[in-house]
Structure 1
């Protein structure tokens, strides 16, 4: 049990207003809770929707930010059986019960008890401690071979993997080597998705973004870069595919223009796999969809369901993500310039170290 009464935490107050504050250390509320002493808390691109004021949800002020968390259990509720004080754990970004209808079908992201860390319903991980309900059902013991890369498994690698799997699963494996794929959005999740998609060995992957550093990274990994700021993406892709369009698009951005681009470059009968966190209207009509015969899958990743498979994929690609985390800082006043650089796409991945510990110590 934590002996201290207060802790440092990053608190959301509104667009471009996140503050470092002293908050009470969380306590056990339900018997299946645990309290986690945070060792790594990631800053995720989807948080920028709220930070920039684009979101329609989660804009209430006063909650602790962060839905990517890794740490050491410091306290366990009386009903917790699988974990004990001192265990290293990864907290997938949504809690789930494991026994409801949706969980049994593998849609743990839509559990009847689902809550996402870092929102009005559940304080997040960007603090010295955070509370994790339903611990036995959704927490994962931390592997001992990933070091700082553990944080990727709380959200972004499983989410990237999920987007890629959805793009290919409607097509038989014999067709994968003939497929043209496009990925829209090459932030951390998009690069994880690119690594996952490359494992299917498609014919080509077009990588679309407006940041040159991201495009260069994608090109080095084997994709064909397209800068939407300087190139006509639709024309380039139609030219390359004899006017047919790509077989599948994975959209990781969560903005209507990105989804519109996905629709414009997909071939008839193709698949759009959208995992970006959208906050606006769909930028095409039902009639448009009818006239294109397009398959579309939206939605949040069920991290707990895909965890093992995505972890295996991360391990296969471990050498390609060694430089993935480029900013590691304590949870102090230095958070503000790091957040500003992240918002401006000047850094790739920011990880806060609230307690100054490395997961392998």
Structure 2
């Protein structure tokens, strides 16, 4: 007795069986590669193999299904749309898998460098990897979307017509894409020249903060009060700004004191040195106290102090102010800024002067009373 397999079972079972076999092979190959890379102490390659497993499986399944559809007895009006849909699914899954693998490579090299926020080399490497990672993923996304859309006949015909009229269309598209292209070029320039790096202390639009994130279109600055200032990427290439940690995080700070002329500057200078030596905020590099200006009522003193970074410099300046004011009020309370007044007796011009004879008559009784 012959057993005939139904046609619908063959139609449905062939791609399913092929996909199952392909996924089984992928699992075996993946495990073998992970073991090889683990024994070879290759963490980057091991992470690349582990990442993006789901999109890889989806791409393999779509590719096997697309290849097996040629052997299926499908009508043309069904086979063509189905093949087109599976092809688009394969393109999207492949782009997703490539993006996952590329992201794993960048993340592995970023983690290998060691996380040290105060290290200039680490911040330089992190900035480059972050910017290039975003640009690469953006390029993969654009290519994936482009190839997926070109699989549609309607979109392909539009693309051909655009190439045929490349003059006006190219100008219009160039004007429309100018901000995006400018941001991409600015991102590449920042990654190469690095006027800013992640973690840098900057002053932008009169606001002090740290570079928190660099994307392909904008930069996020974390301000001192936890606000976020979002700045276009091209701003740092077109406008001046202050970068306090461009070469080194070390920084100099100043404290201004306004005191009376009678204050002993030498004693204040000695007290400043004592304050700095007794606080861990000072990095021990440099300090000074100088008379920088003489005003009408006060003498201006400037204390210059050094610190290891901008945040520590702020705390050190506040500490020096508090201690110096405390020293002045305790030791030299009269040397604080004050107003000087010189009282001069001015005769009352509203009273008429006395007559000569009356003034002499008034003086005689007074003289007699004094002799008596």
TM-score (norm 1): 0.24
> Greater strand share, 1 or 2?
1
* Structure with more relative contact order (C-alpha pairs < 8 Å, separation 6 or more): 1
Higher alpha-carbon Rg: 2
Q: Which has the higher helix share?
A: 2
